[in-house]
Structure 1
Amino acid sequence: MLGEDHSLAHEFPEHLPAIKNLTQGDKGFAKQARHYDDLDREIRKLELNNSPIEDDAMHAMKQERAELKDVLYQRLLSEQSH
């Protein structure tokens, strides 16, 4: 669905405490989470404006978002197990 919110908070509401803890206590996680959310906002903006970029560029952005999401999710799971 175009313009759908894929922010970390929206994707992983059950992990909000871990997102907050990691964002405050781990600069690396915070930087990746910020990049993920910025990328998600940019993708949504482009989708809502009829994707005024090449399909390959949009695909690359979505692929990067998916890869970051996986990395961040693994960190959240690791945080939950502590």
Structure 2
Amino acid sequence: MLTNVMENVARRALQNLIERGYDGCTCERCQNDILAIALNHLPPQYSASPAGEVYIKAKMLEDQAAVDVMQELARAMEIVREHKRHA
């Protein structure tokens, strides 16, 4: 099974930010918009096996990779906050 591990990492990071008090809309559409925007600016990290997924996740714990994910999520959250696509 081919998996973009970056998507899983970004999704978990977004959930953590929401749980810590993100003040924007947290509906499914807004969350998906945030993830789409952020993932379009992050390098994909594909894995074809569970072992590869574990390796990539470990690599994502590096300081710069974690900062990059959080930086892109914050930027995407601001964009979605300012331009909601729902009423």
Whether TM exceeds 0.5 here: the answer is: no
TM-score, structure 1 as length reference: 0.44
Indicate the structure whose relative CO is greater, using CA pairs within 8 Å and at least 6 residues apart: 2
- Normalized per residue, which structure has more strand? 2
TM-score, reference length from structure 2: 0.43
